[in-house]
């Protein structure tokens, strides 16, 4: 029987010395007091007496020796932890690169193996190790971090806890010898541990956690509600996907801009769809509006789709289903003429054909009556 994946908790910090390892060990003690079987898979004390002291009372799985280029190096003993099968395993510094020859290249891959075996893992990482932030951190601090992890590693965590201290407090700790041994303090203060670096890294860490929280919130809301309503034939979108229905006329740009803002807030893709009647010839003004729409969608990073059909609602429904659209925006329709008056309005036709897809009619805000005081 495949065990249920373990719970993954990451303590994220802006730099060494903020207290991630300390908090990880506190978490271990709390779990132990709750009667759970806890081991330390890997601990980096960096010679800090307080950290080493806190590790007392927690079982430590000894590191294994690995020979590499005639040197004896030490690595986390993944096979031994898997044999030991604890309920909770504490693994420090998940961005670490393993010595060649062990099971995985990176420690976060070792952690994946533990999680897959049903072990809950508590781990630590600094924000500068995230791949997507590597360039930005180098630009901010002048230090290029070589050990990086894919951003998806954070995305797979069940909990991310930010360990935050002010740059001033961290510098005080550094000067007091609580972060590095005395011999390394001056070099650290002159290089990485400058207050402007720490302030920038702190902001980066705070933003990263805020984005993770936002991403998780959107996914949770989505899974809990909309998917239940989506028709069975519709592809299950990972997040929201918006579609704006346009015609080549100047007012369409306003609709596209509003749709784009909504897409931005939802962190989703935007498709812009125009259904052209078969054989329809465009006037010079329409050609110009279509060219402007092309440029606008391209600058915004949206996709302009042109379909030829005289079955408007059917074609929109087909394209929306193919694209996994969850949200359709359209402007106010023109007054129907002739037999078209007998048909239900387009929004109603779309709601009938696309159950579970939101349909929004975008108003012209310029025409809104301001409330009288």
Using CB under 8 A, pick the residue from 299, 341, 342, 371 that binds another protein.
299
Alpha helices (H) in the chain, listed in sequence order: 20-33, 49-55, 78-84, 107-116, 134-141, 152-156, 167-175, 182-190, 195-224, 226-229, 252-266, 284-300, 312-323, 346-353
Residue 371 in the binding site for another protein (CB under 8 A): no
Q: Minimum distance between the CB of residue 152 and another protein, rounded to whole angstroms?
A: 22
Q: How many angstroms separate the CA atoms of 246 and 244, rounded?
A: 6
Which of 164, 247 has the CB closer to another protein? 247
Q: How many CB atoms lie within 10 A of CB 346?
A: 18
- CB of 139 vs another protein, minimal distance in Å: 14
- Rounded least distance, CB 253 to another protein, Å: 5
> Which residue of 97, 220, 236, 295 would you call a contact of another protein, by CB under 8 A?
295
Query: Least distance from C-beta 256 to another protein, angstroms?
Result: 9
Residues 188/180, Cβ–Cβ less than 8 Å:
yes
Q: Does 257 bind another protein (CB under 8 A)?
A: yes
Q: How crowded is the C-beta side of 195, counted as CA atoms within 13 Å?
A: 6
Q: Which is nearer to another protein, 227 or 264 (CB)?
A: 264
Q: How many residues bind another protein (CB under 8 A)?
A: 24
345 lies in the binding site for another protein (CB under 8 A): no
- Whichever of 276 and 303 has its CB closer to another protein, that residue is 303
Using CB under 8 A as the binding rule, whether residue 166 contacts another protein is answered as: no
Least distance between another protein and beta carbon 168 (Å): 31
Grouping H, G, I as helix, E, B as strand and the rest as coil, residue 37 is coil
Query: Which of residues 108 and 260 has its CB atom nearest to another protein in the complex?
Result: 260
In this complex, which beta carbon is closest to another protein, that of residue 219 or of residue 296?
296
Does the footprint of another protein cover residue 204 (CB under 8 A)?
no
Q: Is 253 a binder of another protein (CB under 8 A)? A: yes
Strands 269-276 and 241-245: parallel
Q: Which of 316, 310, 306 is nearest to 357 (CA)?
A: 316
Query: Which of 132, 225, 298, 348 is in the footprint of another protein by CB under 8 A?
Result: 298
Q: At what angle do helices 346-353 and 312-323 cross, to 10 degrees?
A: 40
- Tell me which residue of 246, 293, 298, 254 sits closest to 274, measured CA to CA: 246
113 versus 306: smaller Cβ distance to another protein:
306
Q: Using CB under 8 A, which of 288, 307, 333, 343 touches another protein?
A: 288
Q: Using the rule CB under 8 A, is 341 a contact of another protein?
A: no
Q: Pick from 194, 254, 318, 353: which binds another protein (CB under 8 A)? A: 254
Are the CB atoms for 93 and 107 separated by under 8 Å? yes
- Residue 123's closest CA among 102, 94, 144, 97? 94
Judged by CB under 8 A, the stretch of 22-30, 257-265, 318-326, 345-353 that binds another protein is 257-265
**CA–CA separation, 331 and 246 (whole Å):** 8
Who contacts 164 (Cβ-Cβ below 8 Å, separation ≥6)?
A: 13, 14, 18, 202, 205, 206
Interface ranges with another protein (CB under 8 A)? 250, 253-254, 257-258, 260-261, 264, 288-289, 291-292, 295-296, 298-301, 364-368, 370
């Amino acid at each position: 029987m495949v065990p249920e994946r373990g719970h993954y908790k990451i303590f994220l910090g802006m730099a060494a010395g903020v207290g991630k390892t300390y908090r990880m060990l506190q978490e271990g003690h709390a779990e132990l007091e709750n009667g759970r079987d806890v081991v330390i898979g890997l601990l980096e004390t960096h010679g800090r007496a307080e950290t080493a002291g806190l590790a007392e009372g927690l079982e430590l799985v000894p590191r294994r020796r690995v020979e590499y280029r005639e040197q004896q190096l030490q690595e986390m003993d993944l096979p031994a932890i898997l044999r030991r099968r604890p309920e909770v395993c504490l693994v420090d510094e998940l961005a670490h690169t393993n010595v060649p020859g062990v099971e995985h290249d990176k420690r976060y891959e070792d952690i994946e193996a533990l999680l897959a075996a049903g072990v809950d893992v508590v781990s630590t990482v600094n924000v500068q190790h995230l791949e997507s932030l590597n360039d930005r951190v180098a630009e901010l601090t002048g230090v290029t971090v070589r050990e990086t992890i894919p951003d998806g590693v954070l995305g797979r965590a069940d909990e991310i806890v930010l360990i935050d201290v002010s740059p001033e407090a961290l510098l005080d700790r550094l000067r007091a010898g609580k972060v590095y041994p005395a011999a390394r303090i001056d070099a650290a203060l002159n290089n990485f541990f400058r207050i402007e670096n720490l302030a920038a890294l702190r902001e980066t860490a705070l933003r990263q956690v805020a984005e993770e929280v936002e991403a998780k919130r959107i996914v949770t809301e989505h899974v809990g509600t909309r998917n239940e309503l989506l028709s069975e034939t519709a592809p299950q979108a990972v997040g929201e996907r918006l579609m704006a229905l346009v015609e080549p006329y100047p007012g369409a740009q306003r609709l596209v801009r509003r749709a784009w803002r909504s897409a931005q807030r939802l962190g989703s893709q935007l498709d812009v769809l125009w259904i052209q009647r078969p054989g329809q010839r465009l006037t010079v003004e329409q050609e110009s509006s279509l060219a402007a729409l092309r440029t606008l969608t391209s600058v915004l990073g949206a996709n302009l789709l042109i379909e030829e059909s005289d079955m408007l609602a059917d074609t929109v429904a087909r394209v929306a289903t193919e694209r996994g659209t969850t949200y359709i925006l359209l402007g106010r329709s023109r007054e129907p003429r002739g037999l078209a008056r007998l048909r239900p309005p387009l929004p109603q036709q779309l709601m009938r054909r696309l159950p579970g897809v939101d349909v929004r009619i975008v108003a012209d805000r310029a025409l809104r009556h301001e409330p009288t005081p």
